[in-house]
Structures are given as C-alpha cells and as structure tokens.
Amino acid sequence: MRKRLFWGLVGVLALAGSAFAVQWLGTGDKGAGAAVRATGPRAVVVTTDTATRKKAPVLIEALGSVTPLATVALRTRIDSEILAIHFEDGALVKKGDLLVTLDSRAIEAQIRQAEGQLARDKAQLEGAERDFKRYTELVARAATPQVNLDNAKTQSDVYRAAILTSQATIENLKVQLGYTSIRAPITGRISQANVKVGNQVRTADISPIATINQMAPVYVSFTVPQRVLPQIRAAINDEDSSVEAIIPGESRRARGQIAMVENAVDSATGMATIRAAMPNQDELLWPGTLVMARLTLRVEDAVTVPASAIQVSQQGSFVYVVKDGVARVQAVNVLRTNGPQAVVDSGLTGGETVVTDGHLHLTDGARVTVRGDQSAPRKAGA
C-alpha cells in the first residue's frame, strides 16, 4: 500500500515538472525571438573612402632599361708602353682630362730625325736654286748648253718635293706624338682600368684600356604595344606628356621627355621601342638598371576611387556605395588603373562614399558601420 502511494506521488511530481518546463521554454523562445526582431541583423564593419573627381593622368607603364647617351671605349692608336695612369677606377672624368700617358721617346726621336732631313732638303734646294740662276745667265750668253739649265730646274723641283715630304712626315709624327697622351673624349664615369703601368698596348688589342659612360643625360628605353603608338606620337609635343622612371626600392624618381620613337614596329612581337631622355644630373639612374617606365600621355578630368573598392562579378565591375548606414551595389565601368587608384567613367559622379575594405560579409542593402566612425551608436555598457 505504501509502495503504491509512493510511486503515485512521484508520477504527479513528474507531470507537474514537465508542464512547468514546457511553459518556461515557450516563454524563453518568445523572448529570444522578440530580442532578435528588436535588434535586427548585425551591422558589417567596413572601411570607406570617397570617390573624387579630379585631373587624372592617362598612363602607360612598361619595363625599361637605362642606357648611356654615349659610351666610349678608350684604345691606343699607337703601339707603346704605359708610363702613367691618371684616373681612379670609377671616377667622374671631364672631357679633355688626361687619362693615360704612353712612352713618347721613340716618336720624339723620329721627329728630330725628320726635322734634320727637312733642314738638309732646304739646304739642297738653296744650292739647286743658285745653280738654276747661274745656268740661266750662262744660257742667255750662250755660254752653256740648255740641258744644264733644264737639269738645274729639275733638281730644284726635286728638292722642293723633298721638303714637302719632310714637312708631312714631321706633321704625321707630331700627330703620333699626340696619341701618347690619351684624354677623355666625353664627360662621364670611367670604368676600371684593364691595364697597368708598364704594360704594352697595341692598336690590335681587343680589350679597351677603359670605358667611359656618359651619365647626364641618359636614355630610358622601353617597348609598348603597337596599338598605343598613335597616342604616343600625338603626345610627343603635348606639354602634359612626360616619362617617369621608377627604380624598385628607391623613393626618388627621375623625369624626362620622349626623345625618340623607333621608326618601325617589330613584326615578330608587335612592339615598338620608345626612348626617353632623362637629365640625370644627380646620377640617380645608372646604366644597365632595370626601371619601371611610366609614360603620361595626357591629363583628363575623371572620377577616381581606390582600386581596392572595385569588385568584380559575373555582371561586371561594381562598388558598394554607403549612404545612411546602408551599403548598396553600384555598377561601374573601370577605364584604367593608375597605381592605387582606379579611374571610372560611369556609375559614379564624385563625392560618393565607397567601401574599400570589409566586402566579404557585404550584400546589397546590408547595414554597415564605418571603422573608426566616432558618430556610430555604441551598445550600452560597452
């Protein structure tokens, strides 16, 4: 009897507990749903920037290389021995600077010998002219045959020719003597010397004594597709056109102008060579350096946004425009990209706020909170 009473009491308590649990859970679900309906979806945190209407350059970028305006290989023009080297490897030399002195003693001796020969020729000419004058008088008096006068005249002419030959020999030797002093033909940077004092240098040597590269100005050469060639040719005389050489890892940049457009397109590649002249007074550009050549064709009025704001879908390019805390999809047409900026020619007029970071969780019509916006509402107790 007691057992039956005990188990009956347990059953009543179990039923009562179940009813209470059902009622409590129902109340809790209603409260949670109400809370969700009250707060709505959570706002997405984004970073924004402003679409700007401004002057934007039309650019062409290509990989280029720096080449000197002039390169001169120093070579000897006579066979001789090096007596002195007057430059330091890698130094800046000026046009006319004495660089190398060669042994000139043999040439100087030849000059003295030729000068002696010239003096002898002149003395012989004087004697021949005296004979010619004497024979002229004798022939006039019929005191000597005409042949003697003719021979005297011929001898005078021979000595005059000998004098001309000796004078030419001396002039040539003096030119050779000048070759014993090798001077800088241009201003520029000289390479290391390939010879030392005491070495013999010959005109048949393959390696030059040294090489000089003109450093200011220099050329930046690069190639562009043939489709942009008409634009480049039209921009040559435009005051807004310029070429900028960017060295990787270097904050400074060199500016110059188009100096030449190659007169033919490479039929194998469809590329045309462009050469820009850079003043390079500070020697920022070094011959052989690879640079990024940025050619500005012209400057146009356009709307620009950060390139990070541009998104791509199957329908094309678009941006998220934020207004009143809501992000909306706006289709745009990207005309070109200038470094970190994208130039658009439709979809934006300038002044719009566009999302630049936080696109991953965005959808059209999503509520957003701008990162760093102090005016955004804060949760109580936060």
How many other β-carbons are positioned within 10 Å of the β-carbon of residue 178?
14
Give the span between the Cα atoms of 172 and 194, in whole angstroms: 28
Please, where in the chain does CATH 2.40.30.170 lie? Answer: 60-69+216-301
DSSP-derived letter for residue 355 is: E
Q: How confident is the model at residue 299 (pLDDT cuts 50, 70, 90)?
A: confident
Percent of the chain with pLDDT over 90: 70
CA distances from 49 to 87, 302, 313, 352 (A): 58, 16, 21, 8
Report residue 39 as tokens: 């707060």
Whether 222 and 274 have beta carbons less than 8 Å apart is answered as: yes
Asked whether the CA dihedral 220, 221, 227, 231 is positive or negative, the reply is positive
E-strand stretches of 123-241: 181-183, 188-190, 200-201, 210-213, 218-225
Give the span between the Cα atoms of 268 and 310, in whole angstroms: 36
Q: Structure pTM?
A: 0.70
Give the span between the Cα atoms of 180 and 135, in whole angstroms: 49
CA 275 to chain centre: 10
Q: Which of 241, 219, 229 is nearest to 291 (CA)?
A: 219
More confident residue, 41 or 114: 114
Tens of pLDDT, residue by residue over 328-367, are 999 999 988 887 999 998 899 999 999 999 998 899 999 9
Whether 165 and 172 have beta carbons less than 8 Å apart is answered as: no
Please, where in the chain does CATH 2.40.420.20 lie? Answer: 44-54+302-370
74-88, 124-138, 261-275, range with the lowest pLDDT: 124-138
Fold for domain 104-179? Answer: Helix Hairpins (1.10.287)
Query: What CATH number is given for 44-54+302-370 in this structure?
Result: 2.40.420.20
Give the span between the Cα atoms of 283 and 68, in whole angstroms: 11
Q: Which of 65, 15, 14, 6 is nearest to 275 (CA)?
A: 65
Please, where in the chain does CATH 2.40.50.100 lie? Answer: 76-101+182-213
> What are phi and psi for residue 148, nearest 5 degrees?
-65, -40
Residue tagged 């719009």 (tokens): 352
> Which CATH architecture describes the domain 60-69+216-301?
Beta Barrel (2.40)
Fold for domain 76-101+182-213? Answer: OB fold (Dihydrolipoamide Acetyltransferase, E2P) (2.40.50)
Tens of pLDDT, residue by residue over 301-326, are 999 999 999 999 999 999 999 999 99
How many other β-carbons are positioned within 10 Å of the β-carbon of residue 282?
10
Give the span between the Cα atoms of 51 and 354, in whole angstroms: 7
Q: Which residues of 233-262 are buried (b: 16+ CB within 10 A; e: fewer)?
A: eebeeeeebbbbbbbeeeeeebebebbeee
Tens of pLDDT, residue by residue over 91-140, are 999 999 999 999 999 999 999 999 999 999 999 999 999 988 988 888 88
Q: How confident is the model at residue 373 (pLDDT cuts 50, 70, 90)?
A: low
CA distances from 135 to 148, 156, 157, 253 (A): 7, 13, 15, 85
DSSP string, 43-110: PEEEEEEE-EEEEEEEEEEEEEEEEES-EEEE--SS-EEEEEE---TT-EE-TT-EEEEE--HHHHHH
Please, where in the chain does CATH 1.10.287 lie? Answer: 104-179
- Cis amide linkage into residue 217, ω under 30° from 0: yes
Tens of pLDDT, residue by residue over 169-222, are 999 999 999 999 999 999 999 999 999 999 999 999 999 999 999 999 999 999
Would you state the torsion angle of the CA atoms of residues 19, 25, 30, 33, taken in this order, to the nearest 10 degrees? -160
